Amino acid sequence: MKQTITLLLILCISYAQAQNADSVTIRKFYNEALANGKSYEWLRHLTKQVGPRLSGSTGAQKAVDWTKQLMEQEGFDRVFLQDVMVPHWVRGAKEVAYIQNGKQKTTVPIAALGGSVATAPKGVEAGVIEVTSFPELRALGADKVKGKIVFYNRPMDPTKINTFEAYGGAVDQRANGATEAAKLGAVGAIVRSMNPRHDDYPHVGGMRYGTGVPLIPTAAISTNGADLLSKMLKENPNLTFYFKQNCETLPDAKSYNVIGEIKGSEKPDEIIVVGGHLDSWDLAEGAQDDGAGCMQSIEVLRLFKALGIKPKRTLRAVMFMNEENGLRGGVQYADLAKKNNEKHMAAVESDAGGFTPRGFGIVGTPEQRAKVMPWKPLLAPYGLLEIGAGGGGADIGPLAQSGTVLFGFRPDSQRYFDYHHTAVDNFEVVSQRELELGAASMAALIYLLDQYGL
């Protein structure tokens, strides 16, 4: 009995000492990121010197070239590219739209959704059917919808505390709205922007066409524009809506995932990924979505090097290409990992903006999540309180099929959709301190993953 108590005391002391050592190291990550961090200035270059980076564009290629050069300059053990063929959609000339109410013509802000076809050269004008759901649309039937423009006007739910939940409850309109409208003979679809606040910025994003369904043009309308159109429809159900867009889908283009790594000192064949997506929509600089996540991911590896911490496992910073309108980079990365028999123990993605860190969502078994729970006291002093089951990230999602545990970085979500997929997602909307805190938070998690495994 005495020996058992002694052994327990020894184990408790050893655990406490390990926790204390980990606490000291984690503090060093934050000190280095906040005092000497590079992610903010890197983001300045990516947004101001490279700019919009939609897949297949010259901007996307410039981003590939620059991030590869950046990681080489930081002295990572290996920097390399993975070929990936990506969609190449272009917006063309700026869209035009107006509400025709008798003799009154009222211009409203719209933007073509990614992947949409163009209108006819003269545009399209038709009566409007307003709906808030697909069942409501189907209940109307083809007799009422044929020849009309379907206007989807279901707002993001303002009562959701996590705005990503609200987004998830509304985004089906954007993704599948054109297809559902076309099935009933509509000539176009207009979708309320995925935005909880009222402003004049259309929020773009990807959409897809169903097989065997006519391809009709579709665009996002700003929330103020949607409110105005809805109000005017109630006053005059016979008004018409006109819009013209000039987008085009070109043949797939060759692009790349950009990867930098620090080789593990003890278990180099076990890989931990940290990444974001390098592509962005074409209306702005892609600062919050997802320049922030990319620069944070490179900063994680820099922090290890700056502090002289040699990871046991191989750490990879991955700049995924084509998350926004195809996910080709994430799928290609997972396919190549499987083909090369690589063992990915864990993957962390930052694709929710560079806001104040709140925690991490975990995709894994209950046993794997349980291994992370003892780390909560180490992370809590930095505001990382939301640690548990949740989403990982679109780009790292395909790795789950090989048993990789996924971690989604969770910053505060309240302001993200003010900028998401809009013309105002520029460098100026990112806080340097919040960005650096996020990079340090990701480094802290990756340090613990590297030390203790899963």
pLDDT for residue 11: 44
Contact 437, 329 (CB under 8 A): no
Rounded CA-CA distance 103/227 in Å is 20
pLDDT for residue 16: 55
Within the chain, which residues score under 50 in pLDDT? 8, 10-12
Rounded CA-CA distance 202/167 in Å is 15
Here the tokens at position 292 are: 């922030």
323 is catalytic: yes
Best CA proximity match to 84, nearest among 255, 282, 315, 246: 255
Contact 205, 113 (CB under 8 A): yes
CA dist list (Å): 421 to 85, 102, 194, 253, 280: 23, 33, 9, 22, 8
pLDDT for residue 19: 75
Could you read off the pLDDT of 261-303 as tens digits, one per residue? 999 999 999 999 999 999 999 999 999 999 999 999 999 999 9
3-state SS assignment for residue 312: coil
Best CA proximity match to 29, nearest among 450, 448, 449, 443: 443
Rounded CA-CA distance 366/127 in Å is 53
Here the tokens at position 201 are: 């910025």
Please, which residues have CB within 8 angstroms of residue 287's CB and are 6 or more apart in sequence?
43, 47, 354, 419, 425, 426, 427, 428, 429, 430
Rounded CA-CA distance 44/66 in Å is 13
pLDDT for residue 12: 47
3-state SS assignment for residue 59: helix
Rounded CA-CA distance 283/281 in Å is 6
pLDDT for residue 18: 65
User: Residues 32, 130, 299, 323: which is the catalytic one?
Assistant: 323
Contact 189, 164 (CB under 8 A): no
Contact 319, 277 (CB under 8 A): yes
Q: What is the DSSP letter of 46?
A: I
Distance from the Cα of residue 168 to its chain's centroid: 13
3-state SS assignment for residue 296: helix
pLDDT for residue 20: 87
